[in-house]
Structure 1
Amino acid sequence: MANWNDSRMTVTESAARGRNGASERDAGLRSYMLSVYNYMAGGVLLTGIVAYLVAHSALGAAIIFSPLRWLVILAPLAFVFALSAGVNRFKLSTLKTLFWSYAAVMGLSMAVIFFVYTGTSIAQTFFATAAAFAGLSVFGYLTKKDLSGIGSFLIMAVFGLIVASLLNMFIHSSSLQFGISALGVLIFAGLTAYDTQQIKSMYFMTSGGEYAGKMAVMGALSLYLDFINMFSFLLNFMGDRR
């Protein structure tokens, strides 16, 4: 009789520990994803503030309409490469500094949209992008379907999009630009769901601590890039030019 009671207690304790472990894991995942979204949203906000201030300053206009604009346009790429290459070598504090610096420099690059499109259309496109991004990210978080195959295809499509964009810089085809914008919206919409699923999966592959913090920053960078690119391509459709 005593042995049966001991066995029952062992099973009960084991089940309780399993439930507690699952609860802790779920709480950790929620905290991790919240950190990712906070970084991403903060980066978008910083980019928007910098873009607005630069566009409405005399210095900003001088930079954008001078050869320095190419430095401003290409500078964000250096930050992306630095973040990607240094994720294992840099401290978490360094990655955070690079991320916020990247978001600020991206604001310099994005300032040009205020000279091309009306403020109303920029605001409308931003909120449309935010709504679409939220829905797609939630889908990527909740879906049980493995999006790896789709993600691999979309990543290859991004390279094709870059080549087409570079080509159109020389031929200036409005039809090609329309096609690039349409594909760009679809590609980065799909990548939003894919990247969210990948970020969620990465949590279960980390042991916590500083490395989990680094993965949160890199996850935020991926979602930030998805948002900014989807916004930029969508603006070509919805934006009213000045």
Structure 2
Amino acid sequence: MNNQEYIQTGTGLNKFYAKIYGFLALGIGISAIMAYAMTTVFLPVLATLFQSSLAFWMIWLVEIGLVLYLGAKAQKNPTIAIAGFVAYALLNGVTLSVTLLMYTGGTVAGAFLSAAATFGAMSLVGVFTKKDLSAVGHAAYSALIGIIIAMLLNMFLLHSNAVEFFISILMVLIFSGITAYDNQRIRQVYAQTGDQAGTGMAVFFALQLYLDFINLFLAFLRIFGKNN
């Protein structure tokens, strides 16, 4: 690869990252605004939803459906991918609002800043490291399955605050690894596809990073909440 090709590839990759992180910021912003609105302006509506477990199950199932759909179809129809991503961010803002009501404003702010710092640091690792993080990513995703099982057992059987606190710490470690891995994967995919990695692909990766950030935020929220 000559210098001109290298510069063009680097410029294209930077634009691709910028597009992904633009969508990521949009998603986080939409969720934050929706969560704030639900806990202030629309608090009576939230209270009604909170009293109906069926309503939250339906929202949760729709969110899962959107994630699966975006994973399968994002590249084929960028317009629908963007609409689906915005819809997911809105719905997730609703479900997050219930969690946020359980914590003080200081705890929420501390968790958000900690998640942002961790996410930013691990993103830089993923972008700039020359070490292959595939093993880290695969190990983190495997550990995530075990953690989900442990969370369900604790939720329905153990009801242990200590176990929940330990799980939250592990979640921070796991999603730190996944964040670095996902950022490196963006670079690898672009190296294989070049300018063919368009808006749909950017939305797909933005969703992955959005999930990484939200899970880091929720883990820190539980950690700081227990400390308080």
Same fold at TM > 0.5: yes
Aligned to 2:83: 97
What is the one-letter code of the residue matched to 2:110? Q
Aligned to 2:126: 140
Contact 2:78 2:199 in 1 (8 A): yes
Deviations 1:122-168 (A, max 9, x none): 01210111111111101110000000011111111111111111112
Residues 1:21 and 2:21 aligned together: no
Aligned to 1:178: 165
Q: How do residues 18-167 of structure 1 correspond to structure 2 at under 5 angstroms?
A: 18-56=2-40, 57=42, 58-67=44-53, 68-88=55-75, 90-167=76-153
Contact 2:38 2:94 in 1 (8 A): yes
Q: 1:206 aligns with which of 180, 193, 209?
A: 193
Distance 2:220 2:122 in 1: 15
Distance apart, 1:75 and its partner CA? 2.8
Aligned to 2:182: 195
Distance 1:55 1:109 in 2: 11
Distance 2:87 2:191 in 1: 29
Contact 1:188 1:229 in 2 (8 A): yes
Report % sequence identity: 36
Distance apart, 1:118 and its partner CA? 0.7
Distance apart, 1:207 and its partner CA? 4.2
Aligned to 1:14: none
Distance 1:181 1:61 in 2: 27
Q: Point out where structure 1 has 5 or more consecutive residues left out of the alignment.
A: 1-16
Distance 2:189 2:5 in 1: 18
Q: Which has the larger radius of gyration?
A: 1
Q: Point out where structure 2 has 5 or more consecutive residues left out of the alignment.
A: none
Distance apart, 1:87 and its partner CA? 3.2
Aligned to 1:6: none
What is the one-letter code of the residue matched to 1:208? D
Contact 2:50 2:98 in 1 (8 A): yes
Contact 1:55 1:61 in 2 (8 A): no
TM-score, structure 1 as length reference: 0.87
Deviates more, 1:97-106 or 1:158-167: 158-167
Contact 1:117 1:240 in 2 (8 A): no
What is the one-letter code of the residue matched to 2:187? K
Contact 1:36 1:217 in 2 (8 A): yes
What is the one-letter code of the residue matched to 1:177? E
Distance 2:163 2:199 in 1: 41
Contact 1:40 1:221 in 2 (8 A): yes
Flag the 1:48–1:144 CA change in 2: closer, same or farther, 3 A.
same
Two-structure CA RMSD over aligned residues (Å): 1.8
Distance 1:49 1:239 in 2: 22
Contact 1:116 1:241 in 2 (8 A): no
Contact 1:51 1:108 in 2 (8 A): yes
